[in-house]
A = this chain, B = another copy of it.
Amino acid sequence: MSETPTNAAAAAAALRARAARLDAEDELAKLRERFALPEDLVYLDGNSLGALPAGVAATTADVVTRQWGQELIRSWSEGTWWTAPERIGDRIAPLIGAAPGQTVVGDSTSVNLFKALVGAARLAGEGRTDLLVDAATFPTDGYIAASAARMTGLRVVPVDPDRAAESFGPSTAVVLLNHVDYRTGRLHDLPALTAAARAAGAVTVWDLCHSAGSLPVELDENAVDLAVGCTYKYLNGGPGSPAYLYIAARHQRDFDSPLPGWNGHADPFAMTPGFSPAEGAVRGRVGTPDILSMLALETALDAWEGVTVEAVRAKSLALTDFFLECVAAYVPAGTVESVTPAAHAERGSQVSLRTGNASAVMAELIARGVVGDFRAPDVLRFGFTPLYVGFADAELAARTLGDVLTTS
């Protein structure tokens, strides 16, 4: 900052006033009441672990004490347990632009990715040899892709997601891309990349971990083939809550899972020796669903009642714009560099700032009540979750970052 202290104080006062006005005008501001967040905490890590929705504690207590403790096995036959994976999948569906019957919840993202990639390889045309993988992907996607490729005879080809379409061709079997890059917060062009892959005859698998719940996804509209995502970030399902798998209706009959567990059987209690897959996305189920986490997630999704993804996206962009503006005002020139694209069309719901000594800077921010996270080697990540983060949070986070970088 080149301002004198007095000018700086005036600029700060102006930004604080702006934040207050933006919060007052924000129709989503009242949604924060739907979460049990500690007071005086600026929580900008909801892109890693979403905050606790208010009703979850009561649900969990009921699931443990009454449904398990008192009803016992009856809850499987008469309660809400057995159909939870597809029922909760259909609660997530509107948030990812999916019609009902295509989304099933259960297992981790990595496990669902394995199902999706092997399933995609089996859907791909004869003679296609390549599995294209976003080279900047969250590592587990690359590890699982390598395993899926090894076990289906494909070859992994790393691609730059921004230029991935240039690589699509007659040898492309499957394309695995992240909707939003976990490090940089870059949003990739799902409609264009899916259309290009489709034109090349390839099967698309999208990883929605860092986008679903923060911006419109529109899987059906863009004719995505398969997708996976976690539920503990923007969907607030809790630590390690189960992930989901989307299987487009047109592929369900031919989707051939490498994990054909009894829960995905057409008649699971017949206990027949041969596997006969269920109709619909249910064939993506594997073993017994993890009920405590599953039903916590179901209640967590109540936080979306009456909320549109479009409104969330508008607020998300306003928040990240405002945060970047505050960072520019508060942070000493040259100390940070945003690796998150400025263009709205290329921005997810996080801001990633590169800085020296990032690990120590983040530790100090956390000590001062501003919680983001650090990604090696030099990135500070700040996630903006519009259901419970406001403009005053963004201003305070940037101001605190400025203080840390000025005094350190």
Contact = CB atoms under 8 A, between A and B. Distances in A.
A382 interface: no
Given A64-B52, A73-B371, A140 B108 contact: no
Given A73-B371, A139-B273, A296-B64, A108 B57 contact: no
B108 A240 contact: no
A125 interface: no
A257 B114 CA distance: 12
A48 to B, nearest CB: 6
Contacts of A147: 257-260
A291 B240 contact: yes
A53 to B, nearest CB: 9
B260 A143 contact: yes
Contact of A376 (B61, B110, B261, B270): B270
A272 B286 CA distance: 29
Interface string A134-146: 0100111011101
Contact of A262 (B68, B72, B139): B139
A45 B73 contact: yes
A139 B109 contact: no
A52 B65 contact: yes
B49 A76 contact: yes
A293 B258 CA distance: 25
A38 interface: yes
Contacts of A375: 271
B288 A240 contact: yes
Interface centre among A140, A144, A146 (most CB of B within 10 A): A140
Given A239-B291, A269-B376, A292-B60, A52 B36 contact: no
B56 A64 contact: yes
B146 A238 contact: no
Nearest to A272: B139
A265 interface: yes
A393 interface: no
Nearest to A273: B142
A376 to B, nearest CB: 6
Contacts of A170: none
B146 A108 contact: no
A270 B139 CA distance: 9
A140 B270 CA distance: 12
B45 A286 contact: no
Contacts of A60: 60-61, 64, 292
Contact of A292 (B38, B259, B260, B293): B293
A70 interface: yes
A75 interface: yes
A196 to B, nearest CB: 24
Contacts of A51: 69, 72
A138 B58 CA distance: 35
A243 interface: yes
Q: Indicate the member of A61, A265, A271, A275 with the most B CB atoms within 10 Å.
A: A271
Contacts of A75: 239
Contacts of A293: 290-293
Contacts of A86: none
Closest 9 CB pairs of A and B: A108-B287, A110-B261, A52-B69, A239-B291, A110-B287, A140-B262, A143-B275, A240-B290, A240-B288
Given A52-B69, A109-B288, A239-B288, 5 more contacts: A81-B240, A110-B287, A240-B289, A271-B375, A292-B292
Interface of A: 36-38, 41, 43, 45, 48-49, 51-52, 56-57, 60-61, 64-65, 67-70, 72-76, 81, 107-111, 114, 118, 135, 138-140, 142-144, 146-147, 151-152, 158, 230, 232, 238-243, 257-263, 265, 269-273, 275, 286-294, 296, 366, 371, 373, 375-376
